[in-house]
Amino acid sequence: MNIFRLLISPRFVGFKNNLKGPGGGRRVKILTLTVVGILFWLVLFFLFYRVLAYFSSQEMIGDVLARQLLAMVLLMFFSLLVFSHIVTALSNLYLSQDLELFHASPATLTEIFLSRSFYTVIDSSWMLIVFGLPVMMAYGVVYRASLGYYLSLIYVSLPLMIIAASLGILVIMVLVGFFPAQRARDIIFFLSLVVIICLYFLFRFLRPERLVNPDSFVSIAQYLGALKAPDSPYLPSQWATDLLWTRLTRYPGSQLLNHLLLWSTALALMVIDIWMAGLIYFRGFSKAQEAKRRTHVGRKILEKTVSVLTRPLRPETTSLIAKDVCTFFRDNSQWSQLLLLGALVVVYLYNFSVLPLERSPIKSVYLQNALSFLNIGLAGFVISALSARFIFPAVSAEGNAFWIILSSPLSARRFLWSKYFAYLIPMLILAEVLIIYTNHLLRVTAFMMVLSSATIFLLVFGIVALGVGLGAIYPNFKHENIAQVATSFGGLIYMISSSVFIALVIVLEAGPVYTILSAHFRGEAVTHVQWVWITGSFILVIFVQIVAVKKPMAAGLKSLSRYEG
């Protein structure tokens, strides 16, 4: 037990030191993240409170809706926890850099396994607290729950986390037993990607918005049947749902069976994991030390394609872009996210194709153009989110080899602008596809088609510049996983900055667009004073765009020039 405490102590000592003596920059980061976290909790709590308050006001079906929502939320949390533990366990048990030191220590295999499993639970279960607590608090407030409900949250969450962790760790041990750890990571990633995309399409094409319109169902029985969640007596999340619902509604029935099922399953899976670790864990760890084989299928095609597309550019710019493209497609976890991007685009466009505009009390032609204008902001946020994943980490993607860039004849300015133009063209194409096709589905006026296409065109220049510039201001060249860069403090600053930028442009254009469309639909002429105001607003929009491009890139260039590693 003493060795186990020693093995898990580095994480706690590091956390304690971070809290004890943070510098000025670290203190700002902690304060910013705390404020953003509190705001997120409040928004999520308010959202679920409003939904549950509405459900509770509906006779007959109110409690049915609330219970099924609770079941779906817990099922989603449990599924995500299992998946999160699979991914985290692979890193903590097999791929972490300090594992060689641990296995060379006097600690037994069981102690090492338990300590790394403990890290896995800590790393993966924060999601349940961050996303789950506001939801469960909203249930407690709406149903005026007693103290027993809040104590049950702790009592139920603990075995649920243990079950999810044990399943995730067991799956990864079996997979690594058959495949090398690097190959197992690719398999897990692709399988999870396919499952996520399939579930995404299934959920969307089922059109869940019909559930808020009971008139579309023939009978009440059919409507209630459509509300049934995917519950099962064999799911741990369903056992937790039954326990919590009993506490919420003060139902007098006994839940002893669900108590026993939760805790006995959790303890049994823990024992099975420890037993399996003794059989196959060290063998899997040994296989994880093998080098990963590289395949060269499609390499020549990729290189020729890049050389043709970058032929008009300078040789040094061409080399940088070619390197970035080849690096991107070598990493399975990077290029395969294009599948998710494709699914996002399909569902995004599908949502606009099924909008029930004909049932709106607002005249259809007004609503179509209003939605088209709001869609500029929505498409901007989509591009911003994608940029946070792909563009913001672009500078950090150089990794420990960044010193080669610094010591080469290539200037930092050329390096940064090469990153900018490499990502600008794909983002422009994607943004215009989203805007033009959705406008076609909405059948908007020619004015709105031109305005929205031009606005999103300009927005992309600023969004990409913010991503590259802030990525250079907050680089992380020592990352173990490039995905960590996007979720860092700098990534948060980028998302806030790009959101403010998009919102500012939309606000500046809202008044002029309303004036022009109102005059058009009423058959009136826009006055000279209004034209002066409209012209001034659009000039201000262009000025904001210029600032959004120049300032971040200049600040990023200054930061890179001062970088000393």
Report the distance separating Cα 214 and Cα 225, nearest Å: 12
Answer whether residue 140 is part of any domain. Answer: yes
Closest CA to 472 of 411, 559, 406: 559
pLDDT confidence of residue 192: 65
350 part of a folded domain: no
Whether 308 is in a domain gets the answer no
pTM of the model: 0.66
Residue 467 in contact with residue 490, Cβ under 8 Å?
A: no
Q: Find, among 455, 388, 396, 410, the residue nearest to 428 by Cα.
A: 455
CB 281 within 8 A of CB 109: yes
Question: Residue 101: inside a domain, yes or no?
Answer: yes
Last residue of a domain, one of 288, 305, 330: 288
Task: Give mean pLDDT in consecutive 10-residue pieces for the chain, a chain of 565 residues.
Answer: 77 70 62 78 88 80 80 82 81 80 85 89 77 88 88 90 92 80 62 63 54 50 51 82 87 78 94 92 79 58 68 71 73 63 71 61 65 86 86 83 75 84 89 88 84 92 93 80 72 87 91 84 80 90 93 90 70
Q: What is the dihedral of CA 342, 346, 351, 352, to 10 degrees?
A: 110
How many domains, the chain? 2
Same domain, 512 and 477: yes
Tell whether 41 is covered by a domain.
yes
Tell whether 325 and 231 lie within a shared domain. Answer: no
Look at residue 98 and give its three-state secondary structure.
coil
Q: How far apart are CA 261 and CA 239, in angstroms?
A: 8
Cα(388)–Cα(486) distance, rounded to whole angstroms? Answer: 6
The answer to whether the CB of 542 falls within 8 A of the CB of 458 is: yes
- Mark whether 399 and 539 lie in a shared domain: yes
Do 394 and 504 have their domain in common?
yes
Contact (Cβ atoms closer than 8 angstroms) between residue 180 and residue 287: yes
In a domain, residue 422? The reply is: yes
Do residues 86 and 152 both lie within one domain? yes
Are 244 and 332 part of one and the same domain?
Answer: no
Q: Are residues 329 and 281 in the same domain?
A: no
For the chain, what is the largest distance between any 2 Cα atoms, rounded to a whole number of angstroms? Answer: 86
Q: In terms of residue numbers, what domain contains 503?
A: 313-345+362-562
**Cα–Cα nearest to 434, from 336, 335, 346, 545:** 346
In Å, how far are 1, 111, 277 from 114, measured between CA atoms? 11, 5, 9
* Residues of the chain by 3-state class (helix, strand, coil), percent to 5: 85, 0, 15
pLDDT at position 504: 92
> 61 vs 53, 218, 254, 382, CA distance in Å?
13, 16, 24, 36
Q: What is the token pair recorded at 362?
A: 């607002």
Please tell me whether residues 132 and 77 are part of one structural domain: yes
What would the DSSP string read from start to end of 519-561? HHHHTPPPPHHHHHHHHHHHHHHHHHHHHHHHHHHHHHHHHHH
Residues 55 and 126 in one domain: yes
Residue 352 lies in a domain: no
Ordered alpha helix ranges (H), 354-411: 364-390, 402-407
Pair (48, 140) in one structural domain: yes
Question: In the structure encoding, which two tokens stand for residue 326, read together?
Answer: 């080849």
Does residue 234 sit in the same domain as residue 373? Answer: no
> Are 101 and 241 in the same domain?
yes
Confirm whether 353 is domain-assigned: no
